[in-house]
Amino acid sequence: MAEKLGFRGEHLISKTIQITPQKSGDGRAHYVSVIVHQTKDGREVPDALEMGSGLTKKDGDKLVVDALVFSADLKGVVQKAFHNSGLAHHLQSEELPTDSRKTRRLFQKELKFFFAKVK
């Protein structure tokens, strides 16, 4: 997924916050990651955001997933977006158009989940 989102390199560094479905209030798992690169002097500098949410349900002995994943620049402009759905380990990944109102609305909703109190 990292490569689909436009992140390359074997040594991708990220700082991630994860919220479990039990604590999220909406029954979905949520995460936000700050993708960073390391400078020659060892400092970590932010490059981009990756965030998403997902819902996993049991269907008999199978797990069914419905998830959204976004990458954005540090100004909050969506660079890539995907809707992943289907059986766990056999997900169908649909790239969403980044210029659509629906994609921007879904991304803003995810941003507000983490940053609603930031002014």
**What's the confidence (pLDDT) of residue 39?**
85
Write down the pTM of the prediction.
Answer: 0.82
According to DSSP, residue 26 is labeled S
Q: What is the pLDDT of residue 99?
A: 94
User: What is the model's pLDDT at position 3?
Assistant: 58
Q: Quickly count: other Cβ atoms within 10 Å of residue 7's Cβ.
A: 18
Q: Which two tokens stand for residue 40?
A: 């020659």
Note the pLDDT of residue 119: 47
The whole-number mean pLDDT for each consecutive block of 10 residues of the chain, a chain of 119 residues, reads 54 82 92 88 89 92 93 92 92 94 94 73
